[in-house]
Amino acid sequence: MDEVAGAIADPVRRRILEMLRDGRLSAGQIAEQFAISRPAVSRHLRVLRESGLVRDELVGRQRLYALDSGRLGELLAWLSQFARPSGWEHRFDALETEVYRTRRERRPNTSRPNTNSSEENTA
């Protein structure tokens, strides 16, 4: 998790990950998007590759890079403990609580016998 967090700490690497979200790109296509040298972009790609966030594949003479988001799972799980539920999540939780409470209140009381057999059960 520390390696992944370190890799995404740099804004250039985060931008590269965003670019790769849409599909594979060559190192040249990635480098064109930055005002830094190609060797600097190569170093960023190496960090992403070593952290497991990016995988590369040699296709002919071109090296293509692709996002491998699997390593983000552990970091996402850790970060989620700090996220407060959104408004909708909070409302759904409240709705679920209300549904269970209502069901519990509507359950027939089996401890006392039903003295009026003509009484209808309605939901």
**Cα angle 76, 82, 84; round to 5:** 110
Please state, in angstroms and rounded to a whole number, the distance separating the CA atoms of residues 53 and 7: 8
For residue 104, is pLDDT > 90?
no
Please report, as a single letter, which amino acid is at residue 117.
S
The answer to whether the beta carbons of residues 15 and 37 sit under 8 Å apart is no
Q: Read off the pLDDT of residues 71-94 as tens digits, 9 standing for 90 and up.
A: 888 888 888 877 776 667 667 778
Q: Read off the pLDDT of residues 35-75 as tens digits, 9 standing for 90 and up.
A: 898 999 999 999 999 998 999 998 888 889 998 888 888 88
Structural domain boundaries of the chain?
1-72
Write out the E strands in the chain. Answer: 25-26, 54-59, 62-67
**Cα angle 17, 55, 8; round to 5:** 35
Which of these CATH numbers, 3.30.360.10, 1.10.3710.10, 1.10.10.10, 1.10.540.10, describes 1-72? 1.10.10.10
